[in-house]
Structure 1
Amino acid sequence: MLKAGNIWALGAMSGTSLDGVDAAMVLTDGHRILEFGHTAYREYTEELRDLIRSGLGLWQGEDGVEAVAEGVEAAHAAVLGLFEGAEIVGFHGQTLAHEPGGRGTHQAGSGQVLAQVLGLPVVWDFRSADVEMGGQGAPLAPFFHFACAKWIKAEAPVAFLNLGGVGNLTWIDPRHHAAEEAGACLAFDTGPANAPINDLVTARLGLSRDEGGGLAGSGTPDAAIVARFLTHPYFYKMPPKSLDRNDFSSLVEAVAGLSDADAAATLTAAAAAAVAKGAEHFPAPVSRLLVTGGGRHNAVLMAMLADLMPCEVVPVEAVGLDGDMLEAQAFAYLAVRVAMGLPTSCPGTTGVRAAIGGGQISRP
């Protein structure tokens, strides 16, 4: 257990878009955000990115997983070692497979290894306990989004949209006292976001991303492909619900015959349409959609969202938050909650049977 009071926590996140490691410090008492601290980013090398791609879909103990884990650990140790003053670390690891209701969830990388390297307690394996209790194990940022809504002094329902490899939405009623209260939060994955776009431009052009949406902006979406995409059974499931990075691999196959620009435009339009479809599940309307994650830098995706959504669509920087670091900050915050025995998910965020705290703690 940590000492009571305010704690500087260091969090790290490496998402399904496979770009690199975000790291950030947060001062928190496990309930409130008190201050945001230093941040850093370490881009994955192309070699490591290829190694991780080779491990996607693999489970613990399978051939190739150990090499991926070692690469992920080394990249995290390099960036986390730059920080001073942290009392605890939250390490998410790199998701290779996610199958709630099936084989579970698998994030590569050992918190015990990082604890030894950093000389600090490390909270990791955040998702397994939730899955074991019948939850989706994702998304896990909603409790932090609730704290952010309090931090920006929101007084009416607001929604956060994270556009990573997969998109996810958190609807929040900040009039509640705590995130785990019934009616305070609803969260779920919307559908593919950056992952298929990144995979497309990597395979076709050798690029890591469609910078700013430039390629998509020069193309025309195939409306028929987007319409077929929206008939996928996932969109008719009630939330909470979650996805694996490759659950919509058929979408990438569907654009195989299109030009580079039209394929990128179609994948971008599908990502925006999935968000709009998801917003139909909101318990009450929101006046503002606050967008975080790498996708908010895609001007074409943001414009498509603005056209489809019945509310204002703005990056989280509009309310003083850092959209590049929000998920790393989330795992700093969640690490403190785990150490204090507080819940990190609840029925409204993952569908777990009751509010539960996940994660295991490794000490040096």
Structure 2
Amino acid sequence: MSPQPSWIIGLMSGTSLDGIDAALLRTDGESIAEFGPALTLPYAPALREKIRALLNSGGHAAGAVARQLTQAHAEAVAALLEKAGMTAQDIAWLGFHGQTILHRPDEGRTWQIGDGALLARLTGIATVSDFRSADVAMGGQGAPLVPLYHAALARHAGLAPPLLVLNLGGVGNVTYIGGDQDSDLIAFDTGPGNALIDDWMLHHSSQAHDEGGATAAQGRVNEAALQRLLDHPYFSAPPPKSLDRNDFSAAPVQGLSVEDGAATLTAFTAASVARGLQHLPQRPLRCLVCGGGRHNTTLMRMLTQQLNMPVEAVEAVGWHGDHLEAEAFAFLAARAARGLSLSLPGTTGVRRPVSGGRFYRP
């Protein structure tokens, strides 16, 4: 018998390095009872740059950055509780993803910084963290972990399979929902999401990202550079498969104008998603897009052209695109607390369904 649904806060800080998403969800880890408020707390620029430096340093001085990151998450929890008119006593768990610094599952390594014990003390709320390590230890890719939540959302909304849910954060990943059972799920990272575009804009303009895809819209796709980008062996490899934020290089677009480079990298993201369709057993009826990439009008247009199916932001079916991954880690915290699986052979390649998480009391 399932327990009564509880209010849980999910926390997500993704590979785009834009900040912390925090969301309230009332759930038992199997179904969704109620959506609560959500918010985004942008990283302070100094903390963002410290995290960015860690990505390229091998993790030196990670302890100090992890403490600052954890404190920022505690501030996000406090702000969300205030917004919701709740207190720590109203919350059963925090689902704390942390910030991914390294993801090398083929080497048996995945590393998310963040101190779960400290967060539990700072917030007064029991905390679940380290969602990925158990999967990697069992031979899985450790990602993506959101598919079980995508499936719960689809059931909640009564959406017909086959359905594709595309998340465009720093890295792109898809969940293919082929039927009503969790065993009908297939998931994998498709390729770059926003990371290459963001890094290009950061280094070649005064912007941290291509707002609305406006810069790409002014450029022309360099087909030769695009083909070099698509020659990466990752795209022909069958799932399960996952990526680190820095697995792809923008070297083929070096020397292009800011506009042409942005257009080509945007086309690369769209084409990499299209390449992923070859690994699915059926063509999906539609593609629902979450993550920051859905705000990029040029990217959404290119996806529609490349996929040749309806491509819509998840708001079209009433989902919360900016906070869906934070909601997912609330859902996964509930599952972890019950010892339910967080990943499946079809979603990460793990040998059998596996739970996970580390648990900290205040």
**TM-score tier (shorter):** over 0.9
- CA-based RMSD of the aligned residues comes to 1.2
Q: Is the 8 A contact 1:58 1:97 kept in 2?
A: no
Distance between the aligned counterparts of 1:221 and 1:44, measured in 2?
32
Q: How many residues are paired up?
A: 353
Residues in 1 aligned to 2:314 and 2:203: alpha-carbon distance in whole angstroms: 31
CA distance in 2, matches of 1:31, 1:8: 14
Greater shift, 164-173 or 72-81, is seen at 72-81
Is 2:68 aligned against 1:63? Answer: no
For the residue of structure 2 that corresponds to 1:51, the secondary structure is helix
Higher mean Cα deviation, 126-135 or 65-74? 65-74
2:144 matched to 1:147?
no
Matched letter for residue 222 of structure 1: N
| Per-residue deviation, 1:175 | 2.4
Query: Which residue number corresponds to residue 137 of structure 1?
Result: 142
- Paired with 2:253 and 2:227, the residues of 1 have a C-alpha distance of 13
Q: How far apart are residue 307 of structure 1 and its match?
A: 0.5
Match of 2:270 in 1: 272
Q: Take 1:58 and 1:201, find their aligned partners in 2: how far apart are those partners? A: 22
1:240 alignment partner in structure 2: 240
Partner of 2:107: 102
Given the two structures, how large is their TM-score scaled by the length of structure 2? 0.95
Cα deviation code 1:10-30 (max 9, x no counterpart): 001110000000100111111
Partner of 2:29: 30
Contact persistence 1:165–1:193 (CA under 8 A): yes
Deviations 1:198-247 (A, max 9, x none): 11111122322110001111111111111122221101111110000000
The one-letter code sitting in structure 2 at the alignment partner of 1:213 is: G
Q: 1:339 is aligned with what amino acid?
A: A
| Superposition map of 1:1-364 within 5 A | 4-57=3-56, 62-82=59-79, 83=81, 84=86, 85-176=90-181, 179=182, 181=183, 184-249=184-249, 252-364=250-362
User: Partner of 2:267: helix, strand, or coil?
Assistant: helix
- Secondary structure at the aligned position of 1:81 is classed as helix
Deviation at 1:39, TM superposition (A): 0.3
| Structure with the higher helix share, 1 or 2 | 2
Aligned-pair CA distance for 1:253: 1.6
CA deviation string 1:120-139 (max 9, x = no partner): 11110000000000000000
**Partner Cα distance (1:223, 1:359) in 2:** 44
SS of 2:106's partner is: coil
SS in 2 for 1:280: helix
List gaps (5 residues or longer) in structure 2: none
Shift of 1:75: 1.5
- On the 8 A contact 1:25/1:86 being kept in 2, the answer is no
Displacement of 1:156 in angstroms is: 2.1
Letter in 1 for 2:192: P
Please report how far the alpha carbon of residue 159 of structure 1 lies from its aligned counterpart in structure 2 after TM superposition: 0.9
Contact map agreement 2:128 2:360 (CA 8 A) in 1? yes
State the Cα deviation string for residues 159-210 of structure 1 (Å, max 9, x = none). 100000000000012422xx2x3xx100000001100111111112232211
Q: 8 Å contact 2:108–2:137 — kept in the other structure?
A: no
- The 3-state SS of whatever aligns with 1:143 is helix
Displaced runs of 4+ in structure 1, greater than 4 A?
A: none
For 1:306, the aligned partner's letter is T
Match of 1:68, as an amino acid?
V
Query: In terms of mean alpha carbon deviation, does 345-354 or 202-211 score higher?
Result: 202-211
- Aligned-partner Cα distance in 2 for 1:19–1:344: 25
Contact 2:166 2:175 in 1 (8 A): yes
TM-score, normalised via structure 1 length: 0.95
Q: 5+ unaligned residues in a row in structure 1: which ranges? A: none
Cα distance in 1, alignment partners of residues 57 and 124 from structure 2: 30
AA aligned to 1:270 is: F
- Post-superposition offset of 1:349: 0.2
8 Å Cα contact 1:149/1:174 also seen in 2: no
- Contact 1:27–1:37 (CA under 8 A) maintained in structure 2: yes
